Chain A
Amino acid sequence: MKIAYRHLVQHIEESPSIENISNKLFQLGHEHEIDGDILDMEFTPNRGDCLSINGLLRDLAAFYTVDLHQEVCTEKLNELQLDFENLSENICPKISFLKLEIDQVPETYKNSLDNYFTDLSLNKNNFFTDVSNYLSYETGQPTHCYDANTMSGKLLFHEIKKNEEFETLLDKKITLTGKNSVFSLNDNVINLAGVVGGKSTSCSNNTKTVIVECAYFQPEAIIGKSVKYDIQSEASHKFERGVDPDCHDKVLSRFINLVSDHANIKDMSIISYKSKDNLIHQIPVNVKKINQIIGINISEKEYLNLLSKLGFVVEEGFIKVPSFRSDIKTQNDLAEEVARVIGYDNISTSKISIPNNERINHKAIENKLRFFLLDNGFYEVINSPFVNLSSEEAIKVDNPLDSNREYLRTNLTNSLVDNLLFNERRQKESVKLFEISDVYLSSNGINKKRKLSIIASGRVGENYKDFSKKINKKYLAILFQEILPNKVFDFKIISRELLDTKIKNEIVSLEIDIDKFPDDILRYEETSSPPDTFNEYRPISDLPSSIKDISYSVKDFSKIKELTNLLLTYQSDIVKNVFIFDYFKNEKTEEIKIGFRFVFQSKISTLTASEIDVIYNEIITKSLGIQGITIPGMKKNV
């Protein structure tokens, strides 16, 4: 909600700056951003009472001298003759109608009405709707204006449960479905209560006689309607959060006053319906409890003085909660009021000492498995549980994000297959992944299983011992046999036939319930450990990479270290990775063959062959500068 600074400050005696008000609003828990002289407010859902100039001023009165006086009509009004019946008093226990007839529609606005549209750069609609909108901004109470000339017949407020077409005053046609609270005129819906009025009875620039409806609706009856019908409605935003049930007389008197500032009123009359009085909530004065909750020590006098600034009244040992504060019910609620005004940051800390509980590691086995897999080059992944595949055991989501995410997955492996293909498409030659997660199945109720799934394909590793080895069932079987020699695992080969890939490497997987792992695994001594620090992330490139291999022959063994140091630490913006993929010492020829793989990738653009060659040639030139190093098949001066 946007609120102009000057609309607030004109009611505050101390004339604080916008920064000063901003600080106080943050202290009170009212988040906002400042845009010039406008405060763009975001209120918590329990503070519907703040959605207005007056509401914010009531809270700021904790810090400033606030004058909430606004001119109202004090004239006694005739009773309005209206054929109205309220069939749902439980939803709308209080409603008033005001009828006004003016002699001429004003062409220009003045005073606060004009300031409202000018300062907030708002578009005008028609006179009565503009007054209604301003009044909602000033008081927080939405009102609805009907053109009185369209309102002949029986007016009903009721909850309906039938499909009905309805055209809003915003020219949007909607079909009402399910339960809806509406106003009907002669059996036709003319207003979706608390959300939006209908086109057929809306005011226009020619409207001279208006019927203003001012109501309290139970928030439960309004919540969700604007989202359901995709209607942007400031009124529903307020009704959903609860408005002041006791403000109708003042709001309508103010309506008359604003109209009379702009036009001669020829006739006015009013009628109110009330099925029950709003009960004033009372809480016993108990400053000891307040001090205990917050952990402070204020006197009863300070406490009550603070509450009185916020509109609370103290009588006979009880605190009477003002009608606009429907969120205050308990001592804890009052404690929050006190803490807000003192300022959360001004409350001193009090040392906490939590008795030590027995530390039980419920996840010892799965944690051991995680580190065993880390030791062997596997990366942990986390996947979304939402899938489009149905199976007999799959749990269906009633309200999925889309049809591709209608079910909860019944296994982890399918997600890992997607992860594997994703990485293969990014030219990864070795992919080893695992995931540990709960899986939920629908069979005789909802059953939870905690599972481990692993998947692997391609090269065993990038180092020169593993580079030429390919991952297969045997590789995984040997890995697991080392830690659990007595357990047989059911490794699966996943066919690539139905997968969108041209790569032929075998895909091996295993999916197993965590509780099927024997405790023996706890004897495994991992070499991996969690990182000591939280590494700074370097943005990754999605552009294609290129590979260049260089194989050297080294006769002077003393130069090996110099060569590996030069190449493994080679710095270039486009060299993403370097590793030794081949190493062989030929005792007969007294020669070492060593192969380096360079992976080139740019973060800016797809690399051209010539861009790669510039760096590649630089690498070759520098490496061949080392005595006793040759590249078989390549002359040194190339």
Chain B
Amino acid sequence: MPEHNDISPPELIADKGSLHPINHMKDSIMELLTSFGFETVDGPEIETEEFNFDMLNIKKSHPARQMHDTFYVENKSNLLRTHTSPVQIRGMLEKKPPLAFISGGKVYRKDDDATHLPMFHQVEGIYVNQNVSFAQLKDLIYKIIFSLFGDGVELRFRPSYFPFTEPSAEVDILSKEGKWLEILGCGLVNPVVLENCNIDSTKYSGLAFGLGIERIAMLKHGVTDIREFYKSNLDFLSQFK
């Protein structure tokens, strides 16, 4: 009999769980933005039309307000926020510039198919100060994208339209396969929005941006079907330790 009585038992592999990949992505982005100087603010998912639309210069006639795009609750007295921007409105009403907020969380739109879900996640940011320019917005966006996708990634800015920003832009990155993929929307805060929040738009200007968390998580993890995130399948979740 060989003398190996001091043999130690096999290593006990701790059965650790994992963060949800969407929450992990959201936390990572918010941590990154916090390191840039942004303050985290939080707000309710059930909002008023005033904060979700009116204050953001989204007119009564805007298609997003239709019953087929927005979930309304309690006899249309409130709605499920369609973006996290109302949180920033609340922040701007509470504090005076200079200010820099980020907010992240669940948002809701009346979509349900292979590429859209009625619930998804956003992180949005706003920075208001004197002489904030589009050129500065570009600098910030480069920093965000390079931090997320690496310094070598190629990106482009395209003119776009959001009622709450002017000028507005969408930003794409070039995938390994040579396809442009939309990553975020951004722009200079529309002066109407600043005025709605009692901020003198002749003195201050601002920049704002928003990222769809699912989209970035899909790209970073190589997930092709957005619905996988919400099946709570342990075979799926255990891959993100």
- The answer to whether A295 and B135 touch (CB under 8 A), given A344-B158, A381-B237, A557-B2, is yes
26 contacts between A and B (CB under 8 A): A44-B161, A220-B61, A227-B66, A292-B205, A293-B134, A293-B205, A332-B166, A344-B157, A344-B158, A352-B139, A354-B37, A355-B37, A359-B34, A374-B16, A384-B118, A386-B119, A396-B74, A399-B110, A401-B112, A408-B73, A438-B44, A440-B46, A464-B12, A557-B2, A557-B5, A590-B1
Contact indicator B236/A396 (Cβ below 8 Å): no
How far apart are B163's CB and chain A's nearest CB, in angstroms?
A: 8
Least CB distance from A48 to B in Å reads: 11
Which 4 residue pairs across A and B have the least CB separation, nearest first? A295-B135, A29-B159, A295-B133, A354-B37
Quick check: B36 and A354 within 8 Å, CB to CB? Answer: yes
> Which of A356, A380, A442, A534 interacts with B23 by CB under 8 Å?
A380
Q: Is the CB of A223 within 8 A of B61?
A: yes
A463 at the B interface (CB under 8 A):
yes
Q: Mark B211-241, 1 if CB is under 8 A from A, else 0.
A: 0000001001111000011111111111111
In the complex, the answer to whether B17 meets A378 with C-beta atoms within 8 Å is yes
Chain A interface residue count, Cβ-Cβ cutoff 8 angstroms: 114
Residues of B near A381 (CB, < 8 A) are 20, 232, 237
> How far, in angstroms, from A400 to B72 measured CA to CA in the complex?
9
CB B21 to nearest CB in A, in angstroms, measures 8
CA distance in complex: A64, B39 (Å) = 46
Q: State the Cβ distance, B164 to closest chain A Cβ, in Å.
A: 11
Chain B hits for A74, CB < 8 A = none
Q: In the complex, what residues of A have CB within 8 A of residue B190's CB?
A: 332
Query: Which segment of A166-174, A189-197, A251-259, A424-432 sits at the interface?
Result: A424-432
With A336-B159, A463-B13 as known contacts, state yes or no: A347 contacts B78, CB within 8 Å: no
> Does B140 count as interface, using CB distance less than 8 angstroms?
yes
Q: Does B191 contact A (CB under 8 A)?
A: yes
Bound form: Cα–Cα A605–B95 in Å: 60
Q: A123-131, A156-164, A479-487, A579-587: which lies at the B interface?
A: A579-587
Contact A362 B233 (CB under 8 A): no
Q: Are B9 and A531 in contact (CB under 8 A)?
A: no
Complex partner residue of B240 from A330, A400, A531, CB under 8 angstroms: A531
| Cβ-defined partner of A557 (8 Å) among B4, B12, B27, B157 | B4
Q: A332-B188, A335-B167 are in contact. Are A433 and B232 (CB under 8 A)?
A: yes
Q: Which of A45, A333, A395, A464 contacts B10 (CB 8 A)?
A: A464
Of B67, B157, B234, B238, the residue contacting A345 (CB under 8 A) is B157
Residues of B within 8 A of A438 (CB): 44-45
A332 touches B241 (CB 8 A): no
Complex contacts, A340 vs chain B, CB 8 Å: 159, 167
Least Cβ distance of B121 to chain A in Å? Answer: 8
Is residue B14 within 8 Å, beta carbon to beta carbon, of the partner chain?
yes
Interface bits A87-130 vs B (CB < 8 Å: 1, else 0): 00000000000000000000000000000000000000000000
Q: Which one of A202-210, A307-315, A490-498, A536-544 contacts B?
A: A536-544
Asked if A489 is an interface residue, CB under 8 A from chain B, the answer is no
B9 contacts A446, CB within 8 Å? no
Write out the residue numbers on chain B whose beta carbons fall within 8 Å of the beta carbon of A220. 60-61
Q: Is the CB of A357 within 8 A of B39?
A: yes
A423 an interface residue at 8 Å Cβ cutoff? yes
Q: Is the CB of B7 within 8 A of A347?
A: no
Nearest CB in chain B to that of A358: its residue = B39
CB pair A535–B221 under 8 Å, yes or no, is yes
Would B28 and A463 count as touching, CB distance under 8 A?
no
Neighbour of B223 across the interface among A44, A442, A537, CB < 8 A: A537
Q: Report A608 CB to chain B, min CB distance, Å.
A: 21
In the complex, chain A residues whose CB is within 8 Å of the CB of B63: 45, 223-224, 240
* Chain B residues, Cβ within 8 Å of A296: 135
The number of chain B residues touching the other chain, given as a range, is 35 or more
B51 within 8 A of A: no
Q: Are B222 and A536 in contact (CB under 8 A)?
A: yes
Among B7, B10, B45, max chain A CB count under 10 A is at: B10
A540-B233 contact given A330-B166, A335-B167, A354-B36, CB 8 Å threshold: yes
Residues of B within 8 A of A347 (CB): 134-135, 138
Residue interface bits A211-252, CB-to-B below 8 A is 1, else 0: 000000001100110010000000000001000000000000
Chain A proximity of B201: nearest CB distance (Å): 9
Give A382-427 interface residues, CB cut-off 8 Å to B.
Answer: 382-386, 395-401, 405, 408, 419, 422-423, 426
Q: Does A465 sit within 8 A of B, measured CB to CB? A: yes
Tell me if A339 and B167 are in contact (CB < 8 A). yes
Given A45-B63, A384-B119, A430-B15, A531 and B232 contact (CB-CB distance below 8 Å) = no
The smallest C-beta distance from B181 to any residue of chain A, in angstroms, reads: 13
Inter-chain CA distance A462–B233, complex, in Å, is 17
Task: Determine if A47 is an interface residue (Cβ-Cβ < 8 Å).
Answer: yes
Shortest beta-carbon distance from B224 to chain A in Å: 8
CB-CB under 8 A from B174, the residues of chain A are: none
Chain A 361-386: CB-based contact to B (< 8 A → 1; otherwise 0): 01000000010011111111111111
**B127 A354 Cβ-Cβ under 8 A:** yes
A294 CA to B169 CA, complexed, in Å: 12
Which of A28, A382, A431, A527 interacts with B230 by CB under 8 Å?
A: A382
| B161 with A46: CB separation less than 8 A | yes
B1 nearest CB neighbor, chain A only: A590
* A295/B134 in contact, CB under 8 A: yes
Find residues 29-67 in chain B having any chain A CB closer than 8 Å to their own CB: 34, 36-40, 42, 44-46, 60-61, 63, 66-67
State whether B232 touches A399 (Cβ < 8 A): no
Contact B119 A385 (CB under 8 A): yes
| A356 to B239 CA separation, bound complex (whole angstroms) | 35
Q: Name A565-619 residues within 8 Å CB distance of B.
A: 579-580, 583, 585, 590, 592, 594
